[in-house]
Structure 1
Amino acid sequence: MALPRTHHTSFTPNEIEYIAGNEKIYIIPKVKFAKMNFIQGKIGPFQPPLSIEVPTWLALLLKKNDKCTIVCPDWLNVGKQEEEEKNEEFSKLPFHYMELSQMLLETASDDIPNAEQIRKLLKDLRETRQAKSRAGLDVLDDKWLGMNNLSLMEINEIRPFFTRAFNEMRKLNSNQSSDQPQASSQTF
């Protein structure tokens, strides 16, 4: 896919989703499996009804084939939106919360309590966090940008603008410092 020059250093949303697929989540298998060997290591054995931690990509694959039930992560609940609105700082969420929630709601909405309400709250959460990002960019200087607890997708969204703005501010500051007369080191 041809991308604008400003986005060449950013990931595409599909690439970020692919990376997020390696995050671990818990499942409850419906069938018994021996250990599975993968490039990343061994997973298993799967013993119903004992929960087991697996990569998200495997959980989604097993769910699509009706071989497991996905355990809803603790952070995917109704209270996160309220917490985000109360604090000036970004609330602590998984680094891939956007991608994981989208994948889980798409594939395993029957395993997530209040899935429709969660979808709406995630949309509100995203808008709240975008507003905080814009507010953070308003106080941008040429030294650093302090925004903690951003997700990879949020970082990816502001990266093109931030990079250009940061470079321009550095140029302006270097030009200002070179325009000022240098103090003389002569003594009288």
Structure 2
Amino acid sequence: MLATVMNAIFLQATMESIGIPTRVQTAFRMSEVAEPYIRRRAIRHLEKGRVVIFAAGTGNPFFTTDTAAALRCAESPPVLRHSSLLTVNPVNAEVVLKATNVDGVYDDDPMHNPNAQLLDTLTYHDVTSRELSVMDMTAITLCHENNIPVVVFNLNKPGNISSAIRGERVGTLIGAA
């Protein structure tokens, strides 16, 4: 959880250095570095044109940051739902963006199988029935139950974050059939 806070603060500093007003909200109190997560305050920041970065997961053990991202998205009606590392805009969200170290979801572990194939699209059922290690099952189930698509893409490829935010095709899209 603390690593996500450190990443969120770094992302905030980067965004603010290019003129994007940003706030970090955490699942537990860290008043010296971030605001506590309060849904109404997050909405108000968004109304003022600020980016809101959510960190520290749900603040509870046994729940991954993937689950926290899915939960923040599901809390509101369907503009942008974002990643397991952080969540941008919990209001009117359209998609969870899962930034990772690989190009998307593969049919096998590409680190151990050089013949593993990158999958362009998957259904939620594909992920669960094939036991693909995309997100934890709680997160993928929350996304499925709330019809929240997930885009899994490589964080380390230049331009991928911008492309994903603009809705351009990157990585693997997980959604309904």
TM-score, scaled relative to structure 2: 0.29
Structure with more of its chain in strand, by fraction: 2
Structure with more of its chain in helix, by fraction: 1
Higher relative contact order (CA 8 A, sep 6+): 1
* Higher Rg of the two aligned structures: 1
TM-score, scaled relative to structure 1: 0.27
